[in-house]
Structure 1
């Protein structure tokens, strides 16, 4: 692998990388650091390089690190540790891999440290509450209701440090920040954001922005979108200044042998591909991440490892790099593990050229993001489901309702909507407390699910209001029969807090297209029918009246 490739890999690695040496007096000293370390700690290169652990950290944090460093130098064996360190960006939890680097005689002369910030995964809920002051960039929440209706719902205070505009200015006018995107990048950034927002997929992008003083900054943005019931899209994410990383990416390092060790000890997978997609090099991290032996991988085509659904997109990504001759990043895809499971990876790729300027290969850096994807899926689930019962919430239920009505119209079928309100639920909360009320709501959800078909849909609108969508019903008699059976099931006594309580339900029933043809109108008609059921004595079902 060319020397400049190893050098670029060290600096561009998404993991924190640093090199530790030992002075003649026996003290450990930090000799080299990459841009990721500066970004994640808030320290400058001048503050770190040439300094000892005790000059950078409190003694109670530095002493344990020095003990581990000494053990690695003495044994020549790698070490994996977890440390909580106080740095300008805050108190952070780190997972650190230490790997000895040897000279030509096999003597350990330096240690390569590869660290990953695991603070958010240790305590995700706490991280959400404290992320803004601890990130080197800033957190934001941006909404879009179509057209030019952009609004920042939240923006971190570091926005003023990075771009010279205050929080108040940005919250009052989104253009105060969005208009600072470089004109050559603006259309791409906005277009990609909207596309990912409409498909509800995470977005990552790198682009240029102008500070109020006229200086140019490179930034990286990552966000996760969600859609509200009214169609508004909200992105939650963060922006980080990567200007230093961009400026230093092309620097040449000193020794090819040394940087080979740096690359091969990095947590990320470093790989090269021929223009037609054959793997010509993979770093040892492939074995750790995916289980395949390096010798079994080199010389094979990437189609042997990529998920069939992702392969066309990955090949198009490589064609884009080949066609533009420029680095590209941010593609996410699944890779087959040796155990036949799938791992999610994200990758950057850059063209490698010969002396004539022709692209002869691709250099890529890939990272396992399986845990991040699982966390995003969990966040997406929480945004669409009731936290107590796990049932679809109002937004998700209405989304499925509109889809069901479109299918029913296409196939000439009837759909029934049941609006369910518990009778005398409030006294249970008042008398036995909210924990008892929650148990009643959970039991209600279970009984509703047990009383309908697997193809039907049960949702909770909030409080003691539930809705049920019955697919492809024959007529109103069938819908009323299901509603009556649910009334009888919900009226069964419930054991709560050592006591037996009884609730019942009033149910309003509407049919598509007999009573209404839109989701909102169906719900309103069912709501009115439910109130007629309450007025008629509760614990019963009433059919909606046909529109006049």
Structure 2
């Protein structure tokens, strides 16, 4: 009755699932085999030899059958346990959870299950960390105020942040369904440029920002700084392109407002001069009209008492009220505002000089402690009949924005935007001034002209960006050896000049050696390829070689070309002009 049960398929599978049931079956077989051995032994003691042999063979067959059954049971149990572990792991993978592997009583399989569970927990933790990191980056991109988009290598839109819907007015599904996002988003006049930038971006060429106008669905326009960033895999192949557009409308508005402010200041200045010229005694005492202008206006009578102050002046100098000021002496007002001025001692000297001169003052800029710049000008106010002055009017104007704008415009007008060196315009102005000073002081003025040898080859081989890198670095390196009485200029392209006051031929030669050594020692690395440049230098000195700006420049240029003809990477000094026949 035991043997058929062991070979029944369903019973066998059931038995194989539990090591406990297998151990119980093993004990039953062991007990049965022991009873059988005892019975055969007892029977053999009373039987014949034939019976003993028959019983021995039967016993051997039973033992062999028991071994086979034990092996089959052990194998089935092992396969069943492994199958159970596999099913648990497959189910955990399908549900994306950590597998729960119960212990079955066998230490080997239990330790294997623990190892799998420990590995699965570690993998799940790593996966969770990656999911959190991806979610964090996704939230970061989705929270961006500008447009963030990701395109495939072929230009197909793969992902778009929600801000694009607010910026363009088009729903995200409309953007994904569009066959040409440039025509959908970009202002018609900027579309050709945007398409070219998109082509270059998808080809991995362009990364610099470009300012373009994006048109909202309602027709409104805003300025955006657009950039294409290439995403490459480990092999360096392009797998996608990121497009970013950041709102710069506020900066554009500030630039426009700056221009309008400059125009408004000019108009206000013209209006101020108009009213000052045509003012009479009544207007000189400041009518209510003066409260409407942007300038602060203060009128002081001949006894230096404050007769009138307008509201902009009170606000500009952070005073309490008009009533508290009118009737007091001007020195009390100066003392109250003392802490607001960054250099009060200088301002006091200015006030004393203006009052002592009894004339209209020139424009004077007052630097305040909070960083503002207030322009001050004063004028003596004559009486209506012109007999004698009735006082003095002081006009204050906050010119902070105007001064900063003038400073910036001056820098743009005099500086080379690539290298930051003085440009040709400033060069010609300084040449005029240096030559005039040299004539007046009987001093020599030196001019060194030089350009780069091999610069065109670098541009042609590595591109203009590499050429710009050479110019920027060369300007910085040579600029580091230029001394206080030497002025360094970029005249255009790869042409540079150094202007030196109160010099000599020996000093100019020393300067040339410093420039040649510095330029010749520069090594550039362009995508793993090393490159270098040298310079050809020409020197001309006034008044030995020329006495005017044009002739001195021409003499230095001839010497520079002579240096190139002599083999480059060298210095040549101009020859004196030929004596007239």
- TM range, normalised to the smaller chain? 0.3 to 0.5
Greater helix fraction, Structure 1 or Structure 2: 2
Q: Which has the higher Rg, Structure 1 or Structure 2?
A: 2
Whose relative contact order is higher, 1 or 2, with alpha carbons under 8 Å and at least 6 apart?
1
TM-score, normalisation: structure 1: 0.46
TM-score, normalisation: structure 2: 0.44
